[in-house]
Amino acid sequence: MVSQQLSSPPKVDNLIGFETGSQTVASAKFDFDKIKAVFLPGGILEKARPGYEARPQQLQMVEAVCRAFSEESFLLIEAGTGTGKSWAYLIPAIYWSQSQIQTKETDDSFLPTRIIISTNTKNLQEQIFFKDIPFLRSHLKLPFRAVLLKGRNNYLCWHRWKDFILELEHRQLSSLKERLELLPVAVWLSETLTGDIEENTGFRAHQKPYVWAKLHSDSRYCKGNKCSFNSVCFVNRVRRAARNAHLVVVNHSLLFSDLVSNNSVLSEYQNLIVDEAHNLENAATQYLGVEAHLWQIRNLVNNLYYFDGRETGLLPRMRQAIYKGKLSQNTQETLLGNIEAVTSLTRSLDQASSRFFRQLSEACWEFNLRQRQPIGTKIRYRDWLENFPSTGIVTNEFLNELQELAGELRRLHENLLLVKAEEIAEVEDFLFDLEGTCQEADELLAVFKMLIEATDQRYVFWLEPSPRGENFDSRIKAAPLNVSFLLKPLLYDRLRTAIFTSATLSINGQFDYFKSRVGLDLVDPDRLLENALGSPFDFEHQVLVAVPKFLPTPKEVGFIETTVSLLCDTISHLHRGTLILFTSYELLGKVYEGLKINLESEDVLILGQGKDGARHALLRQFCEQKGTVLLGTNSFWEGIDIPGTPLEILVITRLPFEVPSEPIIQARMEAIEQRGGNSFYQFSVPAAILRFRQGFGRLIRTKSDRGVVIILDNRALRFRYGSLFLESLPVIPKVFNTPREMLNAIEKWFFR
C-alpha cells in the first residue's frame, strides 16, 4: 500500500504551447468558411479522428459562436449530448484569439487576446485541457497557448512547506503518523511541474483540510518577489503563463472567487465561455457567499502559538529571535510585552471560541427539537439573539476576544516595523508572516460580525448544525439572495463576448428562466443571441419513456413498498444495467435496503451512493459488471457519461424539486411571492424541469445507445404541472396501467 502511494505520479503540465516562444502578431484570419471547413466531410476533424462525422447541430453551434465573437454579443446556446459542444466553441475561440492583434503590454512585449473557458466539473475541465486542446493544437497547426488555472489554494507554497517541516521537527509530540502522511507530498514535490495537489493520489487534501491549510499558497502570507522561492513558485509560474495564453481553462469556483478579489488571479479579460452554464446560479450562490466555523479560529490560534510539550508557532519564534537580537532594552521589553499579550489572547480566544461553538451547537439542537426537526436540519435566521438567545453572553465574549487579538496583533506589527535588519536578522520574514496573520484576523472578525449581525438584506443567513458529539463543528453561512444584481456589474458589464452553453438551459425552447436567474435579462437585449439546438440522436427509436400510472404519489402511503416491488420485478425480469436516481439519501437508503433483501438470491450487484464506496469507484464497478444496479442522488443526475450496454435502464424515482425548507430556496421563493409572483411556477417548476432533463440525459450518450426511462413519480400524470415535465422530453412517454403491462412492453421494445 505504501509503495503504491509513493510511486511517482505521471508528469503532467498545466501549460500548453509555451515551448514555442511568444507570438507577437495575429497569426490566423477569422474566416467562418475556413472554420466551418474544419468540421465538414474531408476536413481536418474527419481526417484526424476516425469515425468523426459532421453533425448539423454542431455546425449550427459553430456558426452561432463565430457570430457572437464577430458581433461582440452574448450567446445563450443549448446543445444536447452528442452535439460536440466543446469543439464547436473551442475551434472558433482558437481562431478568434489568433486573429486578433495582440495587446501591447510594454515597449517590447505583447499579450494575446485571451478567452476564459469556465466549467463546473473537474471532469470536463480536464477533458478540455488534457484531451481536446492538445488534439486541436496538433491538427489545426495554429501556435496558440493554453493554461489550466485553478484557485491559489490548490497549489503548494514552497515557503509554507519549509516552515511546516521545520515546525514539525521542533514539535516533541509530533507523531509518526503525521510524518508518514507527509511522505507522499515530499515524494510528489520532487516530480511535479505544477504544484497542483490534485495530482497527488497519495495525499487527499480534502481528507486532511487542516494540514493542507498550512501548506497551500495564501495571498495573505505571500512574499511575492521577495520570497526566496519566487523563481520556483508554482503560482507565479501558472499565473505568468495565464497572462500570455490565448485560452485559460478555469472552473466556476475560480471564476467567481476572482470576481470578488478584483481579478487578482485572472487579471482583466473581455471574452468568456461558460460551459455547464446551467450550474451558474448555484456556483455563484456558493462562491459569492461567506462561511465561518470553529476550525478557522483554531488555525489562526495554532499558527500563532501551539504547545504540545514544546512551544511552536510564530510567537515563540519571534520571542527567541528578540532574545538573540541586538535591541535596546526598551525595545526588547516592548516587543516581549506585545508577544506576551498576544500569546495570552490566543489562549483566551481558543477557549472563548470553543464555548461559543459548543453553546451554538446545543442551541441548534434545542431549536430543532422544539421544531420537531432532525438534529442536523439547517436553521435560517434573521435575528441572531431571537433565534439563539442562550448564546448571547458567549457570542459577545467570543467577538470581544477576537477583536482584542486583532488589535494587539496590529500593535505588535507596528512596533516590529521600527526594528532594523541589523537588530533582528529575520525581521522581514516576521513582518510578512505577521501582516498575513493580521489580515487573517481582521477578515475573520469581519466575517463573524457580518454573519452574527445579519443586517445585510442582500444575503440569506443560516446555520448548519454539527451532529451531536462531533466537536461542535457547526457552520454559519450566508449567500446572496439574488446573484443577478451581482453578476451584471461584476462580470457582464466588462465583457465584449460571452457564450453560455449547456444541454439544459431552456424550457420548451425559451431561455427566460435561465436569464432571469443569472441576470442576463439585465443585459441589453440587442446584444443577446439565443439558440436552442436539436439533438443529433433519434430519440423516437433510441428511447422508450415509461410512466406507471398504478403507483401512489411519493407522499402517499405505500410509495416506498410499491416502488421496491416494481424495481425488484424490473431488475429480475430484464437483467440490464440500471441507474436509479433519487432526490434524497433517505429514500435511497430505504430502497437500497429493500432491493438488497428482496434480491438476495439473485445474481445482481447492487451499489448505493454512500453505501459501497466513492463515486468514481461506483461508476467503475457499474461499467465493468454487466447488469449492475446503481442507486445515486444529487451528483449522479449530471456529469456522468456511461455509453453502451452498462446503462440501459434509467429510473427517476421523484421529480427533482428543490427542498423548499432549504434556507436559500425558501428565501428566494419568499422574494418572488413578495413581488406578487407565483414561486412554484416561476421558480420551483422550471428549476426542477432543467434538473429532470439533466437526469434524462444520462441514458443516451451515442447514436448507437438504446434504453428505457421509467418515471416512478406519477405526479407527472396526476397534477397540472406534471405535463410540463413530460413535454420537456424529446419523446412522448407511454403510460402503463399495470406492472405486467409495463414490463412486457419494455421487454418487447428491447428485442424489436
Instruction: Kindly indicate the confidence band of residue 2, based on its pLDDT and cuts at 50, 70 and 90.
Output: very low
Interval 328-369: pLDDT, tens? 999 999 999 999 999 999 999 999 999 999 999 888 888 888
Global pTM value: 0.91
What integer pLDDT is reported at residue 104 of this predicted model?
61
Mean pLDDT value of segment 160-188: 77
Mean pLDDT value of segment 540-559: 96
Q: How far is 204 from 111, CA to CA, in rounded Å? A: 36
Q: How far is 145 from 18, CA to CA, in rounded Å? A: 6
Instruction: Kindly indicate the confidence band of residue 172, based on its pLDDT and cuts at 50, 70 and 90.
Output: low
> Cα separations (Å) of 560 from 373, 374, 522, 564, 574?
21, 20, 45, 6, 21
Q: How far is 688 from 663, CA to CA, in rounded Å? A: 17
Beta carbons within 10 angstroms of residue 430's beta carbon: 19
DSSP code string of 377-443 = --EE-S-HHHH-GGGHHHHHHHHHHHHHHHHHHHHHHHHHTT--TTT-TTHHHHHHHHHHHHHHHHH
Instruction: Kindly indicate the confidence band of residue 171, based on its pLDDT and cuts at 50, 70 and 90.
Output: low
CA gyration radius, the chain: 29
What integer pLDDT is reported at residue 9 of this predicted model?
43
Q: How far is 573 from 635, CA to CA, in rounded Å? A: 28
The three-point CA angle 124-129-130 to 5° equals 100
Q: Using H for helix, E for strand and C for coil, what is the string for 224-236?
A: HHHCCCHHHCHHH
Interval 59-109: pLDDT, tens? 999 999 999 999 999 999 999 998 999 999 999 999 999 988 666 655 555
The yes-or-no verdict on residue 3 having pLDDT over 50 is no
Lowest-pLDDT range of 190-199, 207-216, 435-444, 640-649:
207-216
Helix, strand and coil percent figures for the chain, each rounded to 5: 55, 15, 35
What integer pLDDT is reported at residue 705 of this predicted model?
95
Instruction: Kindly indicate the confidence band of residue 18, based on its pLDDT and cuts at 50, 70 and 90.
Output: confident
Beta carbons within 10 angstroms of residue 749's beta carbon: 15
The residue to which cell 519571534 is assigned: 318
Residue 164 class from Cβ within 10 Å (0-12 exposed, 13-18 middle, 19+ buried)? middle
The yes-or-no verdict on residue 568 having pLDDT over 60 is yes
**DSSP E strand stretches across 244-314:** 247-251, 271-274, 290-293, 306-307, 311-312
What integer pLDDT is reported at residue 26 of this predicted model?
57
Average pLDDT taken over every residue of the chain: 91
C-alpha cell of residue 32:
467562418
Mean pLDDT value of segment 647-664: 96
What integer pLDDT is reported at residue 102 of this predicted model?
67
What integer pLDDT is reported at residue 309 of this predicted model?
72
What integer pLDDT is reported at residue 7 of this predicted model?
40
The structural domains of the chain, ordered by start, are 48-145+244-285+484-532 (3.40.50.300), 153-235 (no CATH), 291-480 (no CATH), 539-750 (3.40.50.300)
Beta carbons within 10 angstroms of residue 661's beta carbon: 11
The DSSP H or E segment spanning 546 is strand 543-548
Give helix 32-39 / helix 56-71 axis angle, nearest 10°.
160
Interval 208-252: pLDDT, tens? 887 888 899 988 888 888 888 999 999 999 999 999 999 999 999
The yes-or-no verdict on residue 672 having pLDDT over 90 is yes
In percent, the amount of the chain with pLDDT more than 90 equals 74
CB 185 within 8 A of CB 200: yes
The yes-or-no verdict on residue 417 having pLDDT over 50 is yes
CB 695 within 8 A of CB 650: yes
C-alpha cell of residue 644:
453502451
Lowest-pLDDT range of 5-19, 453-467, 561-575:
5-19
Q: How far is 162 from 226, CA to CA, in rounded Å? A: 16
